[in-house]
């Protein structure tokens, strides 16, 4: 474990802004949870807080800030399980040290990644996440079940001691209450944000993106953004069955582009080639050019079996690309009644998915128009707005001080379990 420390900004002096500790796998723009945590970190730095980030990786610009101290937890031999254990231990060490030095210091953890009695920002609920590894090698199934069991145990321990719990959707909030017994009065929904200035691609930008990606801009483009591993949670197997059936039709003219890495990329490429669909399906593997993929696309499809929110769909819609998603995904609760046809009741039903793709194809421009109000709504709420709402909730501000009207049940600021000035009671399990 290593530590990178910037220059002091006087955060430990009387009257200085409260220091924060945030424990997360990463702080960067390459992933959903990591992106959200990075947005919170940038907001706290802009407010003048001394910030301690406990993570496996932190983007260089954030790590170099003079108000930021980075505490790195390694992943020995690339092991996620060992890395998570070290992240949790390092997080508790940093949290304990800082809260002893400065009364009122705040600590934010993510789900079950670290047990600490303060704020828990939940990006997914492992107790609601099914195992989706049919057809995977036996070694992976054994490892996958062990990982799920450990994740559920860590999740329960961390949420049992949380004073304030933040959920990324009302569906996540409901799972926390119903499956883990978290008290409703301490759970708040805070929706994710969008990049400031994001907008739909112009005709010229779409053509340029299609050219760079090897696509024909005269044909409709459908995008899938998600990992292709032995775990089928993202639902690409369902999309593949639907796509094969559609490509057998003479009137189906759309092309599919797939952005996502994982152990399954090679085998999926082999399947695509075996079916003679190489010209209709492009598998990019891991890419950081998701924005370019969306610029070239007319629809995003996400038939996930479990999705606490769905940042891929959120980003697509905010950039003017309609999305066809699982009805159980958190972002589905933001769809208006006019968009219900774009919600999949069953993520396993490839026939239904194919039918809905056909309906979309018959009115591509009409669906863009129907999604426009939701796109505008998502664009208005930036990442900074999300972070400001989190800070307001943590600091016990009044409802009127939140930037979004979409945050749920109010917190009782006098509750000793929540009050940041109450004595910190560290359970023996920590």
> Could you please report the per-residue DSSP string of 44-96?
HHHTT--EEEEESEE-HHHHTSTTEEEEE---GGG-HHHHHHHHHHHHHHHHH
Mean pLDDT for 53-69 is 96
Total domains present in the chain? 2
164 lies in the same domain as 241: no
Mean pLDDT for 342-347 is 97
pLDDT confidence of residue 129: 85
Range of the domain at 278: 203-380
Q: What backbone phi and psi angles, to 5 degrees, belong to 251?
A: -90, 5
pLDDT confidence of residue 401: 54
User: In Å, what is the CA distance from 326 to each residue of 177, 190, 308, 310?
Assistant: 22, 20, 11, 10
Residue 232 has pLDDT above 90, yes or no: no
pLDDT band per the 50, 70, 90 thresholds, residue 397: low
Residue 60 lies in a domain: yes
367 lies in the same domain as 395: no
267's enclosing H/E stretch is helix 265-274
112 lies in the same domain as 30: yes
Residue 430 has pLDDT above 60, yes or no: no
209 lies in the same domain as 167: no
Mean pLDDT for 63-78 is 94
Instruction: Report helix, strand or coil for 384.
Output: helix
pLDDT confidence of residue 21: 98
pLDDT band per the 50, 70, 90 thresholds, residue 402: low
Residue 419 lies in a domain: no
Residue 163 lies in a domain: yes
281's enclosing H/E stretch is strand 281-285
The CATH number of whichever domain residue 353 belongs to comes to 3.40.50.2000
Helix residue ranges, H only, 80-220 = 80-101, 138-161, 170-180, 203-213
pLDDT confidence of residue 404: 57
Residues 410 and 399: their CA atoms lie apart, in Å, by 7
Question: What is the percent of the chain where pLDDT is above 70?
Answer: 89
239 lies in the same domain as 151: no
pLDDT confidence of residue 131: 79
Pick the more confident residue, 189 or 407.
189
85 lies in the same domain as 6: yes
């Amino acid at each position: 474990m290593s530590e990178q420390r910037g220059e002091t900004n006087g955060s430990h002096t009387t009257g200085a802004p409260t220091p924060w500790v945030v424990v997360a796998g990463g702080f960067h723009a390459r992933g959903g949870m990591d992106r959200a945590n990075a947005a919170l970190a940038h907001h706290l730095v802009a407010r003048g807080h001394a910030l301690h980030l406990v993570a496996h990786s932190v983007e260089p610009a954030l790590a170099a800030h003079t108000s930021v101290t980075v505490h790195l937890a390694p992943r020995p031999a690339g092991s996620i399980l060992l890395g998570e254990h070290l992240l949790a231990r390092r997080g508790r060490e940093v949290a304990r040290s800082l809260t002893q030095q400065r009364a009122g210091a705040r600590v934010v953890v993510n789900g079950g990644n670290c047990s600490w009695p303060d704020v828990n920002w939940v990006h997914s609920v492992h107790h609601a996440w099914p195992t989706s590894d049919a057809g995977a090698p036996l070694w992976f199934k054994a490892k996958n079940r062990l990982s799920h069991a450990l994740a559920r145990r860590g999740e329960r321990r961390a949420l049992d001691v949380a004073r304030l719990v933040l959920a990324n959707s009302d569906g996540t909030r409901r799972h926390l209450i119903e499956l883990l017994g978290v008290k409703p009065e301490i759970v708040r929904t805070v929706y994710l944000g969008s990049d400031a200035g994001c907008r739909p691609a112009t005709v010229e930008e779409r053509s340029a993106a299609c050219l760079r990606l090897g696509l024909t801009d005269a044909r409709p483009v459908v995008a899938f953004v998600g990992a292709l591993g032995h775990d089928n949670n993202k639902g690409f197997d369902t999309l593949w069955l639907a796509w094969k059936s559609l490509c057998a039709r003479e009137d189906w003219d759309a092309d599919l582009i797939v952005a996502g890495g994982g152990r399954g990329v090679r085998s999926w490429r082999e399947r695509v080639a075996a079916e003679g669909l190489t010209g209709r399906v492009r598998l990019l593997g891991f890419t950081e050019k998701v924005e370019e993929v969306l610029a070239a696309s007319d629809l995003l499809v996400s038939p996930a079996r479990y999705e606490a929110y769905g940042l891929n769909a959120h980003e697509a819609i905010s950039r003017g690309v309609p999305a066809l998603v699982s009805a159980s995904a958190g972002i589905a609760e933001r769809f208006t009644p006019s968009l219900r046809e774009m919600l999949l009741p069953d993520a396993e039903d490839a026939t239904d998915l194919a039918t809905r793709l056909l309906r979309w194809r018959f009115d591509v421009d009409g669906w863009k128009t129907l999604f426009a109000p939701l796109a505008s709504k998502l664009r208005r709420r930036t990442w900074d707005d999300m972070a400001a709402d989190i800070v307001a909730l943590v600091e016990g501000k009044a409802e009127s001080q939140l930037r979004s009207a979409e945050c749920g049940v109010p917190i009782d600021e006098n509750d000793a379990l929540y009050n940041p000035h109450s004595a910190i009671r560290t359970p023996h399990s920590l």
